């Protein structure tokens, strides 16, 4: 059985610890009794100190990015070791905003991924196509090449620790969600890739989240699809109320 995972990707919002705490203060009581769901809040680096605040609750903390070296002359970068040492459990890698705006390649993400795994951070790895690619019928080709590039050289044991987030880029922050069938079809395809590159058992056990304009009204039709194991939520994760509603969908 795959336990759903709901991530709140705050992007460049609520980066002051006080603002992050304010949200968490409201969220903690709303979700404290929920079981069989992994809840991860992913604030900007400047608010990662909330790891202390959520200690003893069922909320985990993740980072939005990291570098592939542990230390050294890399001005402006964040070491995965720092993240691990302060108690961060997860890290998002290869978000489409990193791929598109900051030109992160599959090769770079692959290096970061291997490093994150060696340090013991749990990676949430994003893949997804642009609108033109979907319209040209290239969705599967794009997913396949991102999959092969990003996971290159990963052992079965390593990839087992990864959460994949399928995020069609045209659905991110646009209010335009993939239909549950569109999303499920790509999730199914990712499972086929996992099965052919690794094995069937692994493909059935690995968690694949959906991301892209998930909100309290569309979460249930998405999460009830057999291949979708929760969501990576941007905008709707910024307020405790809407985020809690999305998390609660996993309990139905």
Provide the binding-site residues for ligand PGA, judged by CB under 6 A: 9, 167, 172-173, 211-214, 232-236
Among 104, 129, 133, 167, the active-site one is 167
Among 52, 95, 135, 226, the active-site one is 95
Query: Half-sphere exposure (CA, 13 Å, Cβ side) for 233?
Result: 30
Q: What is the closest distance, in whole angstroms, from the C-beta atom of residue 177 to ligand PGA in the complex?
A: 8
The question of whether 77 is a catalytic residue gets the answer no
Nearer CB in complex with ligand PGA: 110/213: 213
Q: What is the closest distance, in whole angstroms, from the C-beta atom of residue 57 to ligand PGA in the complex?
A: 22
Place of tokens 């939520």: 233
The question of whether 167 is a catalytic residue gets the answer yes
Q: What is the closest distance, in whole angstroms, from the C-beta atom of residue 11 to ligand PGA in the complex?
A: 7
Nearer CB in complex with ligand PGA: 122/203: 122
Q: What is the closest distance, in whole angstroms, from the C-beta atom of residue 173 to ligand PGA in the complex?
A: 4
Per DSSP, the residues of the chain read: -PPPEEEEE-TTSS-SHHHHHHHHHHHHHHHTT--S-EEEEE--GGGTTHHHHTTTSSEEEEES---SSSSSS-TT---HHHHHHHT--EEEES-HHHHHHS---HHHHHHHHHHHHHHT-EEEEEE---HHHHHTT-HHHHHHHHHHHHTTT--HHHHTT-EEEE--GGGTTSS-PPPHHHHHHHHHHHHHHHHHHS-HHHHHHS-EEEESS--TTTHHHHHTSTT---EEESGGGSSHHHHHHHHHGGG-
Q: Point out the residue whose Cβ comes nearest to ligand PGA.
A: 234
Contact 173, 234 (CB under 8 A): yes
Nearer CB in complex with ligand PGA: 89/158: 89
Q: What is the closest distance, in whole angstroms, from the C-beta atom of residue 231 to ligand PGA in the complex?
A: 8
Nearer CB in complex with ligand PGA: 79/166: 166
Nearer CB in complex with ligand PGA: 50/222: 222
- Cα separation, 212 vs 82, whole angstroms: 29
Residues designated as active site: 95, 167
């Amino acid at each position: 059985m795959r336990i759903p995972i709901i991530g709140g990707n705050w992007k460049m919002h609520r980066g002051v610890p006080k603002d992050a705490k304010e949200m968490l203060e409201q969220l903690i009581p709303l979700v404290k009794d929920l079981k069989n769901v992994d809840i991860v809040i992913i604030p900007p680096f400047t608010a990662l100190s909330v790891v202390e605040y959520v200690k003893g609750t069922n909320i985990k903390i993740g980072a939005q990015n990291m570098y592939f070296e542990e230390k050294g002359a890399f001005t402006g970068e964040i070491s995965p070791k720092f993240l691990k040492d302060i108690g961060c459990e997860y890290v998002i890698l290869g978000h489409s905003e990193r791929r598109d705006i900051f030109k992160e390649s599959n090769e770079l993400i692959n290096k970061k991924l291997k490093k994150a795994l060696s340090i013991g951070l749990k990676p949430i790895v994003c893949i997804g196509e642009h609108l033109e690619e979907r319209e040209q019928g290239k969705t599967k080709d794009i997913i396949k090449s991102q999959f092969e590039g990003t996971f290159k050289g990963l052992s079965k044991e390593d990839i087992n620790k990864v959460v994949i987030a399928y995020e069609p880029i045209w659905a991110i922050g646009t209010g335009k969600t993939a239909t549950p069938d569109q999303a499920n079809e790509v999730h199914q395809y990712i499972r086929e890739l996992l099965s052919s590159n690794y094995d069937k058992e692994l493909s059935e056990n690995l968690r694949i989240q959906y991301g892209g304009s998930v909100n309290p009204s569309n979460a249930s039709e998405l999460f009830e699809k057999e291949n979708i194991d929760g969501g990576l939520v941007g905008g709707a994760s910024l307020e405790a109320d809407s985020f809690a509603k999305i998390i609660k969908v996993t309990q139905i």
